[in-house]
Every structure is written in structure tokens, then in C-alpha cells.
Amino acid sequence: MQISAKADYAVRALAELAADAGRPLTCEAIATSQDIPFRFLKGVFQDLRQAGLVRSQRGCEGGYWLARDPAEVTLADIVLAVDGAFLTLRGERLDDLGYHGPAAGLPGVWRGMEDHVRQVLTSTALSDLVRERLAA
């Protein structure tokens, strides 16, 4: 299994915003802090803004804020915003799979894996990540 770079970067960037919610953070500051390629992160933020997870303000006092309380934003929300699905197989959604013969049951196994991933991601909020970091 692979977690996309886009999903990883999105979660890390929003964790930065959740940890420092008192002020806007620039894309540059987040990219530097998390060692994420700046140009790639800008595209990630476009997806996050379209999904309503962040808001932005231009100008010298500008940057990004979380659009919702960190306790209300799950990792599932973030992954779906940037990837559109929890798991794909060779770029195909699992619902579209249809195997024949001895492999006919395999799509059910993949969907079961997806259900477990969905459960973990929907039960973990950004506030959980920040709380774990502060407790360490």
C-alpha cells in the first residue's frame, strides 16, 4: 500500500496550521517547516481551499488558516480532498473492479482493506495529531 505524497503533505500542512491557529501561516513557512516542496504544496493548498478545509488571505499579513476547528477535521476529510478516494488500484476506484474465476473474490478483500483505512482516518482528527505532539 502507498499513501500519496499529496495526502501526506496535506495532513502535515494542516497539522502545522492546527498547532499554530492564532495566526495565518504562509505556504513558504509551512513548506520550510515540514520540508515539503513549495510548488507542490501550493497545489495541495488549492485542493484544500476548494474542499473548504482552509481559508486564505492575500497581502503581507496574509497566509492560511484552518476553516474549521481542528477537532472537526478528520484525516479522512483531508485525504478525500486531495486524492478523491482512500484506496485505488492502478488508478481505478475499488468499486469499478471486477475479476473473474479464482480471483473473483479479490475485490471484496480490497474493499475490506479500504473500510479499515476509512475507519482509522475518520476516527483521527487534526486535534488528535497536535495533542499527541504536545504530549510527547
- pLDDT tens-digit readout, 5-47: 999 999 999 999 999 878 899 999 999 999 999 999 999 999 9
Which residue ranges make up each domain of the chain? 3-129
Of the candidates 18, 8, 14, the residue with the CA atom closest to the CA atom of residue 134: 18
- State how far the Cα of 83 lies from the Cα of 3, in Å rounded to an integer: 10
Please say whether the beta carbons of 9 and 40 come within 8 A: yes
70-108 pLDDT, tens digit per residue, is 999 999 999 999 998 888 777 777 777 888 999 998 888
Phi, psi for 103 (deg, rounded to 5): -95, 5
CATH number for domain 3-129, candidates 1.10.150.120, 1.10.1040.10, 3.40.30.10, 1.10.10.10? 1.10.10.10
Between CA 61 and CA 34 the distance in angstroms is 21
Give the separation between CA 37 and CA 109, rounded to whole angstroms: 35
